[in-house]
Structure 1
Amino acid sequence: MKIWKKLTIFLGAGAVSVPLAIMGLFIYATHDMCGNEVYSEVLSPNREHKVVMFQRDCGATTGFSTQISILDSGDELENESGNIYIIDGQPKEVSPNARWASNTELRIERSLNGSEYKAESSWGLDEIKVTYVAGSS
């Protein structure tokens, strides 16, 4: 009887641990499928910040997106989503013009029309104002 008890415990543990291990391996292998490709960078007039326009691609099951982040000038773009602006499409086709109006205001030359996934109006502790104006898109 002891051998059957040990065998049952062994098989039960295997039935639980093998699927958990496979699920963990899948999550580990796919957790960072996205990648960013910088399209353009523009420094603020005082050179303390920069606006980075980039393409984000998260694999075959999703399309490309154009994203914009404001960063401190010494920071590199991390493998994260944009912190200011996100729309569908590749930058060469849909990127708006982004320019600094001052050290504390970024102008994105594209009217908001509801197709944006993100369109923030400010950024950071320095409270950089982000405005969206009609212009070339």
Structure 2
Amino acid sequence: MVVIYGIDKHLNPIKSQLSDVIHRCMQSVLGMPEDKRAHRFIPLANEDFFYPDGRTDSYTVIEINLMKGRKPDTQKALIKGLFEAIESQLGISTVDVEITIKEQEKYQWGFRGITGDEASDLKYNVDV
């Protein structure tokens, strides 16, 4: 699951495009299937979103929640790929993008009435 935060007047107009960019990167780097998109957008009013000096109102935070298993080089490739794609396709400077990857054990994920460690029918490999 991916959660994206930003100033509403800047985030709302690009939600669909940003979702596409993020998902393409996750497909390319992690091998996620086309139908495995789970993105949540949290547009915030200016007064509800404080961010570091030197950033603009385009400042965007992307939190990527993953089951544990991806190698550090794979995670770094995802982060760098996202920076590059977001800047080239959406014109948002890398200075205005913050990306964090949060990993949880497979047993800490629940979906379809089971936990992640019980799932044997995933259409993608977690250990990449």
Structure 1 or 2: more strand by fraction: 1
Structure 1 or 2: more helix by fraction: 2
- TM-score (structure 2 length as normaliser): 0.34
Q: Work out which structure has the larger RCO, using CA pairs closer than 8 Å and 6 or more positions apart in sequence.
A: 2
- TM-score (structure 1 length as normaliser): 0.32
